Structure 1
Amino acid sequence: MTDTSDTRSADSEVPAAPPGLLHRLMRFIPLIAPVLLWAVPCWVLLYAGQDWPLTVALTGTAVCVLGLVGMPLAMVRGHGKRQRDRAAIVGDVLLGGVWVLFTWSVLLGVLLRIALTVAGIGEGQERARLVTWAVLGVTAVLLAWGYAEARRVPRVRRLDVRLPRLGAGLDGTRVVLITDTHYGPLDRVRWSERMCATVNALEADLVCHTGDIADGTAERRRAQALPLGTVRATHARVYVTGNHEYYSEAQGWVDLMGELGWEPLRNRHVLLERGGDTLVVAGVDDVTAESSGLAGHRAHLAGALDGADPELPVLLLAHQPKFVDRAAAHGVDLQLSGHTHGGQIWPFHHLVRLDQPALAGLTRHGARTLLYTSRGAGFWGPPFRVFAPSEITLLVLRSHT
């Protein structure tokens, strides 16, 4: 693996795309979301056609009010300047729990009620009680299952990716992608060790980490990240920053990954040579890097490819799928990304699609460029994954022959 370029100025780079619809909507979410998340379940479970004893109604309402007040406070205390891990865990669990409860209160509160009415099952309060117990039952099952899915070692997803410009000598090259490990308030040292052991069993030629290593600084999450130093690859281990690094002193993560033997591809590329053929492996900083104000950090694809033979196939690491527009404009053959978590907790999937061109899997963009979007290995915030399983990805590159 040969290093061939340095970080460059972004003066000639394609201008960053304006904020997406999701980002604009996010400005209003902190104001209205908590009220809706707690008020809707409260109404469906306690008041919509119900006739609970006064003590039950008052107790349930009090719980919802406490959640409405306590969840934002715990989130701010846990993820704000103080970075209190215990508060973060409480806030994250409440957020995930109420999101699932809200979702199924809406769905079952409407659809199940209609179905019961059409089927002539129950009347009035009886029908309302059936809806209540169905909502609570589905929520409990999904949260238990979602927690187990979030905490398990990711399953390996294997697929062949055919790149027409790939030389025959590179046919069969094994590329392992891990991303969005999100080491955080919940101590996951053992999880990290087992994940890295799974990666090593795949006997990769190239291992890639496309960012969002952790929530917190490198010093704070060092113990959880150290197992990444045990990852093995025949040719190289390469890494690019994600947006969460820029919330937590990104340069510290770049330095730590270098210390652990990973090659940070900060707007530069290296060459993977195998069987007499060559693959350009390039990487860019996350698209949020420039707005972070951290000197020298920005997404600059032209700089990353500077000096590379334009006839050679290009594998690009970029944290966010939406960078694929720039990748396609530069003739990149394959972009590897993460960021989306596959939606993490359904139906958040649909909101992610407002901001990103792909949610998960392999997609084509333009005449040449393929994009693989991983659902990620870890989780952000709520320790749940519902209909969005984690993954370690093994991509076997295939030539036109």
Structure 2
Amino acid sequence: MAVDSAARRPSALRPVLIGGALVTIMGLLFGVPWWTLVAAPGWGEPAFAVGSALFAGAALATPFLMFAGQRPGGDRLSVAGSVVLGAAWVLFSQSVLAVVVRVGLEAVGVADAARITAAWVAAVSAGLLVWGYYEAMRVPRVKEVDVVLPRLGKGLDGARIVLLTDTHYGPTDRAAWSAKVTEVVNALEPDVVAHTGDIADGTVAQRRAQAAPLADVEAKLARVYVTGNHEYYGDPLGWLAHMRDLGWQPLHNHHVVVERGGDRLVLAGIDDHTAHHSGHPGHRADLTAALDGADPDLPVVLLAHQPKQVAVAEAAGIDLQLSGHTHGGQIWPFHHFVRIDQPEVAGLSRRTDRTQIYTSRGTGFWGPPFRVFAPSEITLLKLRAA
């Protein structure tokens, strides 16, 4: 009996630990800006009361809005919660910087240092949020990258792969945005278009209209897709089937071979790193299955949602891995936290003599509709033979 009780103890403590962590995070996220903007400057009792009420209300409302927004018909609540959360993060990061600045100002005898830094936090945060909203909602700029693959045949030299990832069709209706993204992709005249997951937050039924323009994406050789972690929060089987209906080839631990100019290239894909926790039979990242039957002498481009999956790619001698997931941090300085979990945050990196990885900052955004110092992108990768 003692063994059974010990086995149950972690599950019993789990809600307490989660609740404690949530309270701590929300306390810091809203408490530090409250101190910087409301308490420390000493604006007077009326301003203190109003400001304190606003911060307390926002701190209490945010978890409710985020969780209630996950229910059917809760998109507006989700958007509201995400906006407040994003604003709180920007205010928090600027407030942390303001503490350092305030100490410096007080050290040199500047009067009203608390009020000066409070005004600075408010003005800079407002500017960053306006700019960040624009950056999140605009059609991504095209980022062109040349990638030299020593094993690539001359017939494939100059092949153009367009990478989309983390479109996150969600509570904010971006059907028109999606159509404009498709126009940009088609203008690039790609040989291959790859989508490396997190296509949507929600089911196919909820996000069908936003995903519809993907049917119009044009590629000379292939349109390929793999799941991200967010598919497994919702409807992975539905999205795999729907992408096939839209004319894309889901690479569910599978590969296809494309040919140009007499030379061939393997396009392989694996499920997201979290897929084995989903409860769906056969869903797990399985590179051995993905490469089964592939000619080992051909170069391989691997689609894998998370950069951390590159460890398996390195061991298998993959030539190039394409990933997303990180959003480049999305809102500065969150990229420092991303580095704790992922080996790469953005851009092209060489991992071994053979294996390279390109990590996109993402085409869309998740949650807060802001991008601060982490611009979205539509990536055009031009493959070059050695």
TM-score class normalised by the smaller sequence: over 0.9
- 1:252 CA displacement: 0.5
Q: What residue is the counterpart of 1:72 in the other structure? A: 63
Q: Distance in 2 between matches of 1:100 and 1:153?
A: 23
**Could you tell me which amino acid in structure 2 is paired with residue 66 of structure 1?**
G
Alpha-carbon spacing, 1:112–1:243, altered in 2? closer, same or farther (3 Å): same
Which structure 1 residue ranges, 5 or more long, are not aligned?
Answer: 1-24
Per the alignment, residue 97 of structure 1 pairs with: 87
- Cα separation, 2, equivalents of 1:285 and 1:62: 46
Letter in 2 for 1:330: A
Residues 148-206 of structure 1, C-alpha deviation per residue, up to 9 Å, x if partnerless?
00000000000110000001111000000000000010110110000110000000000
2:34 to 29, 32, 42: 42
Query: Of 87, 106, 110, which aligns to 2:96?
Result: 106
Q: State the distance in 1 between where 2:233 and 2:337 align.
A: 22
Give the corresponding residue for 1:253. Answer: 239
Match for 1:381: what amino acid?
G
Q: Is the CA contact (8 Å cut-off) linking 1:77 and 1:83 kept in structure 2?
A: no
1:119, CA displacement in angstroms? 4.8
Query: Which amino acid in the other structure matches residue 129 of structure 2?
Result: L
SS at match of 1:219: helix
Partner of 1:16: none
2:130 counterpart letter in structure 1: A
State the one-letter code of the partner of 1:353.
Answer: R
Over the aligned positions, Cα root-mean-square deviation in angstroms equals 1.4
Moved more, 360-369 or 171-180: 360-369
Q: CA deviation at 1:297?
A: 1.3
Report the counterpart of residue 244 of structure 1 in structure 2. Answer: 230
| Distance in structure 2 (CA, Å) of the matches to 1:332 and 1:29 | 39
Q: Which residue in the other structure is 1:138 paired with?
A: 124
Q: Can you give the 5+ residue segments of structure 2 that lack an aligned partner in the other structure? A: 1-16
Query: Using the alignment, how far apart are the partners of 1:28 and 1:361 within structure 2?
Result: 36
What letter corresponds to residue 75 of structure 1 in structure 2? M
* Counterpart residue number, 1:57: 48
* Cα gap change, 1:27 to 1:344, in 2 (>3 Å): farther
Aligned equivalents of 1:359 and 1:236: distance in 2?
A: 27
Q: Find the aligned partners of 2:109 and 2:46 in 1 and give their Cα distance.
A: 30
Change (3 A) 1:343 1:26: farther
Alignment TM-score, normalising by the size of structure 1:
0.90
Question: Where do residues 204-283 of structure 1 align in structure 2 (5 Å cutoff)?
Answer: 204-283=190-269
Superimposed CA distance per residue, residues 334-386 of structure 1 (whole angstroms, 9 cap, x where no aligned partner)? 00000000000011100000000000000111221000000001000000000
Higher helix fraction: Structure 1 or Structure 2? 2
Residues in 1 aligned to 2:164 and 2:74: alpha-carbon distance in whole angstroms = 27
Distance 1:356 1:102 in 2: 23
Q: Which residue of 2 aligns with 1:7?
A: none
User: What secondary structure does 2:166 align onto?
Assistant: coil
Equivalent pairs counted in the alignment come to 370
> Which of 161, 170, 187 is matched with 1:184 structurally?
170
Provide the rounded CA distance (Å) in 2 between the counterparts of 1:337 and 1:28.
33
SS across alignment from 1:221 = helix
Q: Deviations over 1:122-157 (max 9, x none)?
A: x2xx22111110000010000000000000000000
- Whichever residue aligns with residue 194 of structure 2, its letter is C
Equivalent position amino acid for 2:56 in 1: V
